[in-house]
Chain A
Amino acid sequence: MGKQMVLSEAVHKRFGRLEVLQGIDLEVAPKEVMCLIGPSGSGKSTFLRCINHLEKIDAGRLWVDGELVGYRQQGDKLYELGDKEVCRKRSEIGMVFQRFNLFPHMSALENVIEAPVRVKGENEQVAVERGRAMLDRVGLADKIDAYPNQLSGGQQQRVAIARALAMQPKLMLFDEPTSALDPELVGDVLDVMRQLALDGMTMVVVTHEMGFAREVGDSLVFMDSGIIVEAGKPRDMLANPQHERTKLFLSKVL
């Protein structure tokens, strides 16, 4: 398990009596871009949140970069991780949300430098320098002092990506990053993500953008009702889905 960035073995997750994940097995290699697709309620967002400790898994094992998620193993015993450990692990994983979740009381730059300064204890000068560079990278060099409500949805999402990148994560998780955007703003966000993929970032992307999945994704996973129905190369799967359920889903979204 040293080679994979994410390794999931029979991961189960229940909310009350609802079994949201019913045994997820998958691997994400370093520098791989994996796209997760599926109908709403299929568990793809929940799985993403499990990777980042926002949800606790009920059964199975989940590793990120060779380290167990949420637990520490000693012999054959599992010990739950304390808050501090969980925070440290989260700080190494970037996450981008459907609804951006920028901090509205902070400017774009303040959003980006908040975690490097507070979590990593970085020198503020250094953080500001890199924060500017990050915002430049997502094409928002002229918006560093803007507050989130002065930005369009697409701009907000790009600030959110810059905010995650400022922590220099080894893995980026995207939870439907373009679903809340006006159609004409989607392209700018996807451009940033494509560039990120070219730069060699490991990415797990929950998305409905099949075009992005086909062109940028290295692998594609179709989930339904908490299981992986089909997985494979995006081009093959989108052109020639094997399962009935996949065919039905794709016929509706394509």
Chain B
Amino acid sequence: MNVAASGAGAAKIPPEAIKAIPVRHPWRWVSAVVVLAVFASVVYQIATAPRLKWDVVGEWLFHQSILNGVRVTVELTIIAMVIGVVLGALLAVMRLSANPVVSTVSWVYIWFFRGTPVLVQLFFWYNLQLVLPHISVGIPFTPAVWQADTLPLISPFLASILGLGLNEAAYMAEIVRAGIISVEQGQTEAAQALGMTRAQVMRRIVLPQAMRVIIPPTGNETISMLKTSSLAYITTVQELFRSQELIAAFNYRIVELLIVASVWYLSMTSVLTFGQYYLERYFARGSARQLPPTPLQRFRHILFQGHAPPPFPPADPLPVYPPRRDDSGQGM
């Protein structure tokens, strides 16, 4: 067949939208039925468990002491994560520093705080006053500039913050470092070639690009922190877990109150999961040609198209460039 002729012929007939019978997916339906059956069975058994008093769950779910616990848990999580992220970023930059003293300090910090259980660290800060009744700041072997008693200073709340935050910093340092390393060396060179200082290169060029790699695991860490903060109950700080435990200790409705706490933990982590998604979208600017759809867009798509959209839509077709001019100096 003559190619030119077929091309000309194709141009005359407008292309018709393809109407084909889609591939059937019977196993999707089978799996849906199986999953629903198992789910229904589990829900039914829990819902009708003879000794599980659901009215107790309802009674305590929004009780003031539980709500206070939720508030303290949120406070602990936010403050510990802020400490973790700020200190972690600092440690990561220190770790990559050309200054051997600074990078060693960072290495030792990470080694120590990542190498001991967070529960031990929480206990340590809580019990610091046993070995160190006074804390002082000043030059060694000279009178202290500032001094305080450990006990009122390190409250249960502060002990929790220190235990959770300093431990988190060690993990965040490694996450930030991985992000920094992921940025192409050429970026640093291009920025240096423009005369930017090390600090400017880090702040303006490397860190913003590293964020794309740093954000997803940081979201993970935040969700993890929300739950790990329950360990702070050993410092007697009344966060969510301790609040429910105190109630269960006098009404013996242990499982009911655990459900109360779980409902709260699950709701809060769900909110965080949602927030993480939008943060990731924001930092994907400039790296993905098209942003991935939001959960709402995905939901609409499933509703109207019958299947999920691809997580990353295919890139735009390549633009067509005009042929190069003849005077381009390529005469050889």
A interface residues, Cβ below 8 angstroms from B: 52, 54, 83-84, 87-95, 97, 99, 101-106, 114-115, 118-119, 147-150, 152, 154, 160, 163-164, 167, 183-188, 190-191, 194, 209-212, 214-216, 254
Contacts and interface: CB of A to CB of B under 8 A. Distances in A.
A119 B329 contact: no
Given A83-B198, A187-B329, A212-B329, 9 more contacts: A90-B195, A91-B194, A92-B195, A101-B186, A103-B191, A119-B200, A167-B195, A184-B321, A187-B324
A101 B190 contact: yes
A209 B189 contact: no
Interface stretch (B41-49, B58-66, B201-209): B201-209
Interface of B: 184, 186-187, 189-198, 200, 204-205, 208-209, 285-287, 289, 319, 321, 323-325, 328-332
B280 to A, nearest CB: 14
Given A187-B325, A187-B330, A91 B195 contact: yes
A54 B192 contact: yes
A250 B275 CA distance: 59
B286 A115 contact: no
B289 A150 contact: yes
A141 B268 CA distance: 48
A184 B196 contact: no
The 8 tightest CB contacts between A and B, nearest first, are A91-B195, A187-B328, A101-B190, A115-B194, A95-B193, A101-B186, A187-B324, A119-B195
B332 A210 contact: yes
A111 B197 CA distance: 16
A104 B206 CA distance: 11
Nearest to B331: A211
Contacts of B196: 87, 115, 118-119
Contacts of B198: 83
Given A97-B186, A150-B289, A216 B193 contact: no
Given A83-B198, A101-B187, A184-B321, A191 B328 contact: yes
B contact patch SS:
loop
Contacts of A211: 329-332
B332 A164 contact: no
B321 A118 contact: no
Residue in B195, B209, B287, B330 whose Cβ sees the most chain A Cβ within 10 Å: B195
26 contacts: A84-B197, A87-B192, A88-B195, A90-B192, A90-B194, A93-B193, A94-B193, A95-B193, A99-B186, A101-B190, A103-B190, A105-B208, A105-B209, A119-B200, A148-B286, A154-B321, A187-B330, A188-B324, A190-B329, A190-B330, A211-B329, A211-B330, A211-B332, A212-B329, A215-B331, A254-B332
A114 B194 contact: yes
Contact of A97 (B190, B208, B286, B331): B190
Nearest to B324: A187
A211 B332 CA distance: 6
Contact of A52 (B191, B193, B328): B193
A90 B209 CA distance: 23
B192 A194 contact: no
Contacts of A190: 328-330
Contacts of B189: 54, 97, 101
B114 to A, nearest CB: 30
Contacts of A184: 321, 323-324
A199 B43 CA distance: 78
Contact of A87 (B195, B285, B332): B195
Contacts of B193: 52, 54, 90, 93-95, 97, 164
Nearest to B323: A184
A119 B332 contact: no
Contacts of B325: 187
Contacts of A147: 285-286
A176 B192 CA distance: 18
B329 A185 contact: no
